[in-house]
Structure 1
Amino acid sequence: MKGFISLLTAIEVLKLKPTIIAHEDYQNFVLEQLRKHYSGSVLTIVNNDWPIIYKLWITDLSYLTSWLRSSYSNRGPESRDPASMMRSYLLLLLAKPTLSITEWVDE
């Protein structure tokens, strides 16, 4: 029984560390979201948005998750991917630098 509990604890610890999301998976997600939200002419992307989209598209931040993995606790709620959080922050800085992070989250 003690070995089983140790195994469950190890599995829980693995769930708490951020999961690495490959850059290619991020790019596929972006394509999926662009198709989902912008293909029906409900929303449009203006010409000024394309440089920002391209910059984030080519910037591979997936190494951040590996780099910061040791900074995450073995306990607590499931963490978010640091690379995804950084992409969102970069998008804030590139698109709406006057917004606070709280306003960005609300938007």
Structure 2
Amino acid sequence: MIQSSRTPNGYREYRDEMVQLVGLIGTAKRLGFSLAEVGDHLPALWATAEPDAAVAALLREKVRVIDARITDLGRLRDDLLARLDMICPLQRAARQRTHGLSSHLP
């Protein structure tokens, strides 16, 4: 996708659009987009007549994904905190073996 030409001395020469494209990819990476996501969306963004609206839609979707992940992580955190005061099932099984009780966990 990134194209260049060579000068007579062998240096690569990039068109201004290609330099802009590399900058866009770097910005997208810093904003949490994977290279796969960039690759999936970039051709359409590059070709659209309304890039501002298209980028805004992608950013809104990324925020939605991040919010969902934050919610999931909050639930995971709460679950972990709730388990701090519980007896470990492995310890319970060891106690049962020591006292000759059934080793089936409830």
Which structure carries more relative contact order (alpha carbon 8 Å, separation 6+)?
Answer: 1
TM-score by length of 2: 0.31
TM-score by length of 1: 0.30
